[in-house]
Amino acid sequence: QQPVQSPQAVILREGEDAVINCSSSKALYSVHWYRQKHGEAPVFLMILLKGGEQKGHEKISASFNEKKQQSSLYLTASQLSYSGTYFCGIVPNAGGTSYGKLTFGQGTILTVHP
């Protein structure tokens, strides 16, 4: 089942902060975050693993609450280059061959103005 992202869209001025949330109805093994600019391919940002390990971007942080089955992406001191659609992808805690399958949320459109 598809995770739910909120908000659907957010508009910021340069330097402002934003939080994007991702909620799942299933227990999660990991959460992956990607950013897609208009007309381009998605670009990897971060992976958060069960147990607290993180792999990813230096300037973007995220959290993963396993009990609540939620993840949040924190964008601080936003820059114009942060504009794009942010997707969370989940890997459910089902094990086996499901580890390779990422189910993405519907996306959050972030617009940063000068």
Partner 1 sequence: DSGVTQTPKHLITATGQRVTLRCSPRSGDLSVYWYQQSLDQGLQFLIQYYNGEERAKGNILERFSAQQFPDLHSELNLSSLELGDSALYFCASSVGTVNQPQHFGDGTRLSIL
Chain residues in the site for partner 1 (CB under 8 A): 2, 29-30, 32, 34, 40-44, 47, 49, 55-56, 87, 91, 97-107
Q: Which is nearer to partner 1, 16 or 47 (CB)?
A: 47
Q: What is d(CA 15, CA 77) in angstroms, rounded to the nearest whole number? A: 4
Q: In the complex, what is the shortest distance from the CB of residue 37 to partner 1, in angstroms, rounded to a whole number?
A: 12
Q: Which is nearer to partner 1, 101 or 113 (CB)?
A: 101
Residues 6+ apart with CB under 8 A from 83: 37, 110, 111, 112
Q: In the complex, what is the shortest distance from the CB of residue 24 to partner 1, in angstroms, rounded to a whole number?
A: 15
CB 61 within 8 A of CB 77: no
Q: Which is nearer to partner 1, 16 or 109 (CB)?
A: 109
The neighbour count for residue 57, using CB atoms within 10 Å, is 15
